[in-house]
Amino acid sequence: MMHPAFPRLALAAALALGAASTAQAVEYGTLDNGASQVGFRYSQMGVTLDGQFQQFSAELHFDPARPEAASTRFEVPLASIDTGSPEGNDEVKAKTWFDTTKHPVARFVSSSVKPLGSNRFEVTGQLSIKGKTREVSFPVTYTPGTPAATFDGTLPLRRGDFSIGEGDWSSFDIVANKVDVTFHLVALPLASK
Amino acid sequence: MEPRYTPTAITLHWLIALGITGAFGLGVYMHELPLSPTKLQLYSWHKWAGVTLFLLILFRLGWRLTHPAPTLPGTMSPMQRLAAGAAHWLLYGLMIAIPLSGWLMSSAKGFQTVWFGLVPLPDLLAKDAALGDTLKDVHEALNFTLLGLVVLHTAAALKHHFIDRDSVLTRMLPRFQKS
């Protein structure tokens, strides 16, 4: 009879070997939408509120051996927003906010990835919301894993830069200018697509 | 000399009466408004007023428990005394329960209460939309119960003053000159 600990040991060894031998070869590229999250944090008269996007999609290329060659094109259908209240969800689709009829998608296209050491990277690229495009840079932390790797980060933006909240809403006294877009992305190797 | 409430009790009574009137009126007005920066501002002000009133009421309750109310006129029947006592403690109960229900409603609706935009109150409940709607109904029902009781309270005070001609109303009025 086999020792009861043996299969576990064998599995652990296989995983460790597998991870070591594939570390150079794997390229992450398939977003696991169910496990990933894209949200945002904003502030309203000193009250911090969290929102989520229910939908998003990404083209992703990340090879841990060549991180500087990584790239992404990330899209968020803005009508999938959840601001935390049904009243707010209706409001932000309107013309003064995202104008989702005319500008349904927010898009980020990376242009460079700079390693910062210890699995942290500075990602730079073009962020387009509501017909306005701006260059943004933000740090991303990469956590290796088998089979999925995770990428966590926060992209701070000023809603005023993209005319998100015009007219009565353009004052930052009530809804603050600063909005932090937060993401937790789980990516599977491209091959498993 | 007729027995009077302490100056502290009188100040707290009228300050809180004024505060409740304002917060009640604001609450009735703001909740039907379409979403706008003004609405968000009014909601914040209402919550700040509610927290302030809650603290004043706690202090007032402490004061009341350590400083007994002046005795009621001998002309009042035992039934009237019982009713007066019950009405007053019910008013205290509502003044505690109403801000609490508002705080809980805010938590359940996922909008934390931050006093004057500076002091965050802990969320006593996790976000739960259905519970938030229930608490809204509770907050509203408690408020209209308070409104009914305040009408009764005012009518009783006026009856004491103009019909019974006793000192029940005047002993809660500020005295503007020293006698």
DSSP string, A114-154: EEEETTEEEEEEEEEETTEEEEEEEEEEEE--SS-EEEEEE
CB atoms inside a 10 Å sphere around CB B32: 7
Domain boundaries along the sequence of chain B? 7-172
| Contact criterion met (CB below 8 Å) for A51 and A81 | yes
Tokens, residue B49: 């007023």
DSSP bridge pairs for A141: A120, A152
Helix/strand/coil for A181: strand
Answer left, alpha or beta for residue B165, where phi above 0 means left and psi between -120 and 50 means alpha: left
Alpha helices in chain A (DSSP H): 6-22, 86-91
Each residue's pLDDT tens digit, A51-88: 999 999 999 999 988 899 999 999 999 999 999 888 89
| Contact criterion met (CB below 8 Å) for B10 and B172 | yes
pLDDT of residue A133: 96
**Phi/psi of residue A86, each to 5°?**
-60, -35
Each residue's pLDDT tens digit, B113-134: 999 999 999 999 999 999 999 9
Helix/strand/coil for B20: helix
Q: Which of the residues A41, A42, A44, A169 would you substitute to probe the B interface, choosing the one with the greatest number of B C-beta atoms within 10 Å?
A: A44
Helix/strand/coil for A186: strand
Among chain A residues, the shortest Cα distance to B130 is held by A85
Stated pTM of the model: 0.84
User: What are the residue ranges in chain A where pLDDT is below 50?
Assistant: 1-2, 17-23, 192-193
Distance between CA atoms of B4 and B1, rounded to whole angstroms?
9
Sign of the dihedral defined by the CA atoms of residues A132, A138, A144, A145, in that order: negative
Of B54, B27, B56, B48, the C-alpha closest to B115 is: B48
> Which contiguous run of DSSP H or E holds residue B108?
helix B78-109
Per-residue pLDDT of chain B (179 residues; tens, 9 = 90+): 678 999 999 999 999 999 999 999 999 999 999 999 999 999 999 999 999 999 999 999 999 999 999 999 999 999 999 999 999 999 999 999 999 999 999 999 999 999 999 999 999 999 999 999 999 999 999 999 999 999 999 999 999 999 999 999 999 999 865 54
**Phi/psi of residue B86, each to 5°?**
-60, -45
pLDDT of residue A15: 53
**Nearest-CA distance A98 → chain B (Å):** 15
Class of the CATH-defined domain B7-172? mainly alpha
Specify the CATH number for A27-192; select among 3.40.50.11710, 3.40.50.2000, 2.40.128.110, 1.10.10.60.
Answer: 2.40.128.110
pLDDT of residue A20: 47
CB atoms inside a 10 Å sphere around CB A124: 13
Answer left, alpha or beta for residue B116, where phi above 0 means left and psi between -120 and 50 means alpha: left
Domain boundaries along the sequence of chain A? 27-192
Among chain A residues, the shortest Cα distance to B38 is held by A174
Model ipTM value? 0.80
Q: Using CB atoms and an 8 Å cut-off, which of residues 140-179 of chain B contact chain A?
A: none
CB contact under 8 A, A48 and B117: no
**Nearest-CA distance A164 → chain B (Å):** 14
Q: Does B109 touch chain A (CB under 8 A)?
A: yes
Q: Using CB atoms and an 8 Å cut-off, which of residues 43-82 of chain B contact chain A?
A: 44
